[in-house]
Structure 1
């Protein structure tokens, strides 16, 4: 079976079953796991599916969910991750927070502090700081992306490139050791990438629903991520792969 035929079968299988594993595809198509992995990577690059640890899911499964949908996902785990992340913020730090439910929870954890500076493009992060007069908050403007309640676009990117944070907590829909932090949307990726540029430390806050997930647009490659905070339900093999790549992994 030639590559094009094999990849069509892979897409048909994903559309029918909702998810596929490399081992199952290898057995069905009577080809090596290496070949299947290469096929999945190619199809992911074409935007026809989304890579996960050990397989793939339909591209639509990794769409940019509404904020309400994200808020309901793994809330207890996100809260624990936010509490753990807050412990890494010190007095005098400049902290950049991307948009997202976990970063909003982190902002609430930090709202009682003093002597820190927050940089964000998120309306919800800014709102969490409204009653915190001892915290300087810099909100970068731009084009409002309603689904994430945050500003994106060229203007936002330009402002962020002129700022340097001690620690950046970027947003992201997925984190895969062999790829990095990713999102389905180019404008969001561009903004988060600008936020991470020149940062003293990039820390990804990802609950287990995001670990191993590879969305379509790279935000921050694995080699530029210093620290990951996740929960105990994350795939151990994926966490080990992150550690092998030099990332410090913390389980909240």
Structure 2
């Protein structure tokens, strides 16, 4: 499902408040309740929202949102995050970049950097950076997932372990309240763990929706992250968790 601007605003409103009534959504979006119900029905079929007694909320499923839908969610926030990351990446450094829509925006933001050496298991990242004549791109071997062009598997992990890079840039599906970083695909998680191990410094790119979101597979802990790039101030409950983990937070306003 490709969301229109009104539906994106509706989803964002629900994500911020967890649950809302149809009437509240209609008032906030300045549309009729009938329009809200029609949008919610379509988004429920796409597993983006769920209808509960008395309101609309996020689905309780631990399944990830479809890749094409993730590309449209918080796209402006992801671009801001990517721009902030690009400001911190020095020319001439080596990078490991994993699977994700935010890391793909980072690749676009690095289009004019010089002397980069990038190892990635993301064919979309590789294609984006291949247009930069001053960037060397190294693609990991393994099994290609058709839905997002990510490369996973034991061969991917073995390949990544040949390298030791300056910065690993990783995306994530969930930052849990206990400081654990989680995702939905165990194979993807294992590759991301290898990237963390082979990086002298690890940067996490995550928009505000990732805070408190639920995902099944534990990937790492915030204490393994050097810098978090996000688009909004973390929720109050996460501030102390980040501080205890000694994570530097860069907010891309």
TM range (shorter): 0.7 to 0.9
Structure 1 residues 177 and 168, CA gap change in structure 2 (3 angstroms): farther
Cα contact 1:243–1:249 (8 A) shared by 2: no
**1:165 CA drift (Å):** 1.4
**Cα pair 2:120 2:139 within 8 Å, conserved:** yes
The equivalent of 2:126 in structure 1 is 126
Aligned twin of 1:204? 204
Q: CA RMSD in A?
A: 1.9
3-state SS of paired residue (2:199) = coil
**Structure 1 contact 212–235 (Cα < 8 Å) conserved:** no
Aligned to 1:110: 110
State the shift of 1:236 in Å: 3.3
Contact in 2 for aligned 1:143/1:153 (Cα 8 Å):
yes
Deviation at 1:170, TM superposition (A): 1.3
Number of aligned residue pairs:
198
Aligned residue in 2 for 1:162: 162
Distance 2:196 2:152 in 1: 14
> Secondary structure at 1:96's aligned position in 2?
strand
Matched, 1:72 2:91: no
CA distance in 1, matches of 2:127, 2:100: 13
175 and 230 in structure 1: CA distance in 2 versus 1, 3 angstrom threshold: same
Residue-by-residue CA offset, 1:165-223 (whole Å, 9 max, x unaligned): 11111121011252422101100000111111131111110001102224111112121
Deviation of the 1:145 alpha carbon = 1.8
Q: Secondary structure at the match of 1:166?
A: strand
Q: 2: CA distance between counterparts of 1:147 and 1:239?
A: 34
In the alignment, structure 1 residue 63 sits paired with structure 2 residue 63: yes
Q: How does 1:86-105 map to 2 (within 5 A)?
A: 86-105=86-105
Partners of 1:161 and 1:229 in 2: how far apart? 25
Secondary structure of the 1:136 match is strand
Q: Secondary structure at the match of 2:88?
A: coil
Moved over 3 A (4+): none
Other-structure match for 1:242: 242
1:241 deviates by 2.1
